[in-house]
């Protein structure tokens, strides 16, 4: 059971927009700690996708965006492409555990 | 170009030990905190350990505290993870990654390709 809760899977057709939620608690997201997102393509290492809720590292398309609301965060992917098919993980810090924590991951399928 | 290269994984019996290494280049190693993050087969990501840029501060996940030791050699741009009293549940791909901080609001910027540790008799 992950500290941060993500849906196991989401799907969408090419060109559509999908969102992935990340729900935490007052010990992590609700305590004001940042949320970051990682993309893991099949058979590869994770890659930083979004940091500090909304910032994109150089090279990440602006089709990817992040947001926060209360004790939750969301990753939105617009204009879905086949190459977006991957696992997505949210990450934050939990003050009760004194540890960085990840969500369980969401598998995105492009139909 | 940033490069992060882990090594040292392999098959080890329960109760055994293993030392992982991670050599980094393309960024100023001595100014970044460093971390180990692992991923069990078919499972999600789990943060394992972090070390400050000087090496003076270390942090561990509850699951490995007392069994794993993280260290670094800034003169060699190298990060280490000494893993003792290994258990079957430690079986995972271990990733080396830098971060903007050691705790709190930190994120993992650059990742290696990972090294597989298998604990089995």
Q: B94 contacts in A (CB within 8 Å)?
A: none
- pLDDT tens column, A7-40: 999 999 999 999 999 999 999 999 999 999 999 9
CB–CB of B108 and A38 under 8 A? yes
A78 vs A69 pLDDT, higher one: A78
pLDDT averaged over every residue in chain A:
96
Identity of the residue in A57, A100, A105 whose CB atom sits nearest the CB atom of B44: A105
B104 vs A97 pLDDT, higher one: A97
CA–CA min distance B45, chain A (Å): 6
Cβ-based burial of B52 (10 A; exposed 0-12, middle 13-18, buried ≥19): middle
pLDDT-derived band at B104, boundaries 50, 70, 90: confident
pLDDT at B44 over 90: yes
Mean pLDDT of B70-81: 98
Mean pLDDT of A31-59: 96
Beta strands in B1-102 (DSSP E): 3-7, 10-12, 18-25, 33-39, 45-51, 58-60, 68-73, 78-83, 92-99
């Amino acid at each position: 059971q992950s500290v941060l809760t993500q849906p196991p899977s989401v799907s969408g057709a090419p060109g559509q927009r999908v969102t992935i939620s990340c729900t935490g608690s007052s010990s992590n997201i609700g305590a004001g700690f940042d949320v970051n997102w990682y993309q893991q393509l099949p058979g590869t290492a994770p890659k930083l996708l979004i940091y500090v809720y909304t910032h994109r590292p150089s090279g990440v398309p602006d089709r990817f965006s992040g947001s926060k609301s209360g004790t939750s965060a969301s990753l939105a992917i617009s204009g879905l492409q086949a190459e977006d098919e991957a696992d997505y993980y949210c990450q934050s810090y939990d003050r009760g555990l004194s540890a960085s924590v990840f969500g369980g991951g969401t598998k995105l399928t492009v139909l | 170009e940033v490069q992060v290269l882990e090594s040292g994984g392999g098959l080890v019996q329960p109760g055994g030990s293993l030392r992982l290494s991670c050599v980094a280049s393309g960024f100023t190693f001595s100014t970044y905190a460093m971390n180990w993050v692992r991923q069990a087969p078919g499972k999600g990501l789990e943060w394992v350990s972090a070390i400050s840029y000087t090496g003076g501060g270390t942090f561990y996940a509850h699951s490995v505290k007392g069994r794993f030791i993280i260290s670094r050699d800034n003169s060699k741009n190298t990060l280490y993870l000494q893993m003792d009293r290994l258990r079957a549940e430690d079986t995972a791909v271990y990733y080396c990654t830098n971060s903007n901080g050691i705790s709190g609001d930190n994120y993992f910027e650059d990742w290696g390709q990972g090294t597989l540790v298998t604990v089995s008799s």
